[in-house]
Amino acid sequence: MAAILAEAESLCRALAGRELAGIPLYLVPQSILPADYFAGDHHYAFTTPSLDLYLAPHIPNYRGRGPCMVVNDLGFTDGLDPEDLEYIVPACVLHELAHVLDRPALFADRTGVDPNKLLFESLVIADCTRRPPRDDLPAYDGHETGFIRIALHLCHRAELAGVAITPAAICAGHRYGLSHASDYQDALGDEPARFTDMRFHDIAATDPPPAFTRLWAQDFVSYHNRFPHLKRVSQ
């Protein structure tokens, strides 16, 4: 698993090198964390804006602030064929990288924060990972248009780098109550090819193609027509 994670980190840097230049990127296997810490089995991977601070005491060679994700290697090895790991782990890592790049900043500025507050937050996050996804929020929560757009750009750049990651593995589709990822890919058109050299923040500052926006609007309305009791979360 260590070799696969090292390759996944290299892939992240190849796809988002300008954003990640000069800062650490932490891909933390769950197996190195204390047994009672982030011990949930509901997530193959997750990230939060302050995760590197929460896990700093457990990260070998912690080198200061940088985006961080936990990769549930225990869940992978228990539930998946070892031959599938070289595909599934990078796909999960790119999913989390899309979350990182979808933030206003790669990680949260916590300068001067009380260490006890960080400890409390880390315990809250650890507890959340032990629980199934909330059923009072729409399935797409946290995976809206900005996330989907970045994920599709990452898939395109991965293909250029010689790594095939199908968009359906990391965004949109039935599990989020949305159209298939290939529909969003078609709606995005040639934008990923045209914007290959752009920073993701600069891409997000541009308007997506109208077809992409229309597809999201249709999905959004359709979703809440089916589940009118759920809170509307839009982006």
Tell me: do 149 and 59 sit in the same domain: no
Q: Assess whether pLDDT exceeds 80 at residue 38.
A: no
Inter-residue contact 97 to 153 (CB < 8 Å): no
Whether residue 152 lies inside any domain: the answer is: yes
Q: Assess whether pLDDT exceeds 90 at residue 169.
A: yes
pTM, whole model, 2 decimals? Answer: 0.94
Task: Give residue 197's domain range.
Answer: 145-226
Whether residue 231 lies inside any domain: the answer is: no
Q: Assess whether pLDDT exceeds 70 at residue 39.
A: no
pLDDT of residue 127: 84
Nearest to 196 by CA among 10, 17, 66, 6: 17
Q: Greatest CA separation found in the chain?
A: 50
Whether residue 200 lies inside any domain: the answer is: yes
DSSP code for 132: P
Whether residue 156 lies inside any domain: the answer is: yes
Whether residue 42 lies inside any domain: the answer is: yes
Tell me: do 89 and 163 sit in the same domain: no
Tell me: do 157 and 125 sit in the same domain: no
pLDDT of residue 41: 64
Residues 109, 112: Cα–Cα separation, whole Å = 9
Of 25-34, 36-45, 124-133, the range with the highest mean pLDDT is 25-34
Whether residue 203 lies inside any domain: the answer is: yes
Tell me: do 89 and 13 sit in the same domain: yes
pLDDT (tens digit per residue) in 89-143:
999 999 999 999 999 999 999 999 999 999 999 989 888 888 877 888 899 999 9
Q: What is the mean pLDDT of residues 50-75?
A: 93
Tell me: do 15 and 121 sit in the same domain: yes
Tokens of 37: 């810490």
pLDDT (tens digit per residue) in 176-222:
999 999 999 999 999 999 999 999 999 999 999 999 999 999 999 99
pLDDT (tens digit per residue) in 66-91:
999 999 888 777 666 777 888 889 99
Q: What is the mean pLDDT of residues 147-152?
A: 98
pLDDT of residue 17: 95
Helix (H, G, I), strand (E, B) or coil at 208: coil
Tell me: do 125 and 156 sit in the same domain: no
CATH number at residue 92: 3.30.2010
* Distance (Å) of CA 29 to CA 42, 83, 92, 151, 178: 15, 18, 13, 22, 30
